Amino acid sequence: MPLASIIVEIIGWAIPVIMLPVIASRHLPTAAIAWLIFLFFQPWLGLTAYLLFGENRVIRRLAKSYCQRITEIRSAHPAQSGVSRLLYPPIRTDARLDRITERLSCLPAAAGNSVEVLDDGFDVIDRMLEDIDSSVNHVHLLFYIFQDDILGRRVAEALGRAAARGVRVRLVVDAFGSRSLARELGQWMRERGVEFHDLMSVNPFRRHHTRLDLRNHRKLLVVDGKIAYTGSQNIEFKDYDSDRADAWHDIMVRITGPVVSQFQMVFVEDWYLSSGEMLEGDELFPTQDRVGDIPVQVIPTGPTNPNTTLRDILIALISSAREEIIITSPYFIPDEPFRVALYLAGLRGTRIDLLIPRHTDHPVLGAVARAYITSLVDSGMNIHFHRGLLHSKTMTVDNSISVIGTANFDRRSFFLHSELSLILYGHEVTERLRARQVRYIAQSDPLDPPRWRRRSPFKRTRDDILKILSPIL
């Protein structure tokens, strides 16, 4: 055997041994075991993958905890130190969920809001354009995907019109998800006065680059500090048709009221991370009047330490459930604590319905999600395969508390991506969201547990392997 081949062979055996203490010290046991299995069987490929995706090399300004950054923003805007809090006793006094979520997210629930639930993607864009065209001071957008297509150009034209009126227009996008803006449309907006930055570049030659799978997955529009939109929809053309089962389905909310100031704080944070500029001015946080009776809690999360905030909040909500939980998500890849919380809820007699699409836009993640179905069925969960591409990320609990936002119910959204989720308190708004979920159930096919268990040995083996590797996928 040539000397070079011997050296390569020796290094291949040494890689897992050398990487063992590195991986053990930086990852939870499940993820560490998955990485080590990969390294032992494919040392060179595993090492390359780990260098690309395993190290949490977040841009330097993102390394602070979210609570630290919120403190900085409040220091720059003293009016935000007294941000509106929940103005009446919490809905679930036994669980005190608002206090749990405030301690985890550092933002209190704010009452006095009006919330519209929007599930027609074309109507969402029309409403956003209407509010942008009515803006008088500033328009702030933060989106994972802003595509250079027919819908993206409509939004860009509205932003250009606003900038021409003297409105300050600021746009932050994820560098990977919105990479098409690096070409003509991004330059077109800049020429018309739109201030435009990208975040989390994957270019190793840029100063604040990060790894490919650490993304800013948020979707947010703030108009004049008084109107906010968020949810699952990106700015891109899809086959939106809420009445057709086989279409693309998203849910967004349009919110007015005191909680909009918290959405503004999220934008100010990401603008600072992308541009290095801390936005100042009283116009960013105008006085907010009570315009409704819905308490809303903003939950911004990202790849910082500790990074289990979103998962822990969802577990607290699941643990409070007594009657019903409905979850919709494009991908459902639970870690062990989350799965156990659902299992225990089922044992308490809580009905749990999970809706996932039969086919997804990411086949590998869809396959990993299906690998967990057997254990979920065994725990008593009702699984529904939606006939379209269900992209909505929602959860309702006992028809009194609901969650909506940008985060999938998977490990990537829980631990890696920067996400923006909301907790909505109260029966009325939860019933509106639940009505959409019930419509999704009507557009779905229920999983037949006996038939699922009769799958071929090949599919069962594939699923077992995917579950082992899921902590790193």
Based on the fold, state whether residues 286 and 179 are members of the same structural domain. yes
pLDDT at 67: 65
Average pLDDT of the chain, as a whole number: 84
Is 243 or 142 the better-scoring residue by pLDDT? 142
> Per the domain annotation, does 300 fall within a domain?
no
Which segment, 193-202, 304-313, 423-432, is predicted with the most confidence on average? 423-432
Query: Which residues touch 327 (CB under 8 Å, ≥6 apart)?
Result: 352, 353, 354, 355, 394, 395, 409
> What does DSSP assign to residue 381?
P
Which position has the higher pLDDT, 306 or 400? 400
Residue where a domain terminates, one of 267, 294, 321: 294
Residues 357, 376: Cα–Cα separation, whole Å = 16
Q: What are phi and psi of 49, to 5 degrees?
A: -65, -40
Percent of the chain topping pLDDT 70: 82
368-375 mean pLDDT: 78
Q: Confidence band (pLDDT; 50, 70, 90) for 205? A: very low
Asked whether residue 418 is assigned to any structural domain, the reply reads: yes
Confidence label for 406 from pLDDT (cuts 50, 70 and 90): very high
Residues 387 and 453 reside in one and the same domain: yes
Domain coverage including residue 409 = 309-472
Q: Is pLDDT of 207 > 70?
A: no
User: Looking at the structure, do residues 313 and 262 belong to the same domain, yes or no?
Assistant: no
Cα 241 to its chain centre, rounded Å, is 22
Domain match, 187 and 331 both = no
Sign of CA dihedral 466, 469, 470, 473: negative
- Higher local confidence (pLDDT), 24 or 36: 36
Same domain, 69 and 125: yes
Is there a single domain that holds both residue 262 and residue 145? yes
pLDDT value at 74 more than 80: no
pLDDT of residue 26: 65
Whether 102 is covered by a domain: the verdict is no
Residue 146 lies in a domain: yes
Indicate the pLDDT class of residue 430, thresholds 50, 70 and 90.
very high
- Please compute the mean of the pLDDT values over residues 271-278 and round it to a whole number: 89
**Phi, psi of 67, rounded to the nearest 5 degrees:** -60, -40
Does residue 83 surpass a pLDDT of 60?
A: no
Mean pLDDT along residues 378-406 = 93
- Does 77 lie in the same domain as 37? no
Domain membership flag for residue 184 = yes
Number of folded domains that form the chain: 3
Residue 279 lies in a domain: yes
Which pLDDT band, with edges at 50, 70 and 90, does 137 fall under? very high
Q: Which of 240, 270, 294 is the last residue of a domain?
A: 294
Residue 427 pLDDT class (50, 70, 90 cuts): very high
Amino acid 235: pLDDT = 97
Domain edge (last residue) among 264, 294, 324: 294
Q: Is the domain of 370 the same as that of 273?
A: no
Residue 346 in domain? yes
Check whether residue 222 and residue 324 sit in a common domain: no
Residue 217 pLDDT level (bands cut at 50, 70, 90): very high
164: domain CATH number is 3.30.870.10
Kindly state whether residues 47 and 72 are assigned to the same domain.
no
Least confident of 123-127, 149-153, 243-247: 243-247
Mark whether 155 and 249 lie in a shared domain.
yes
Kindly state whether residue 99 falls inside one of the protein's structural domains. Answer: no
Same domain assignment for residues 336 and 320: yes
Q: Report the pLDDT value the prediction gives residue 87, as an integer from 0 to 100.
A: 45
Q: What is the pLDDT of residues 223-261, one digit of tens each?
A: 999 999 999 999 999 999 877 888 999 999 999 999 999
How far is it, in rounded angstroms, from Cα 244 to Cα 462? 32
d(Cα 329, Cα 275) in Å, to the nearest integer? 32
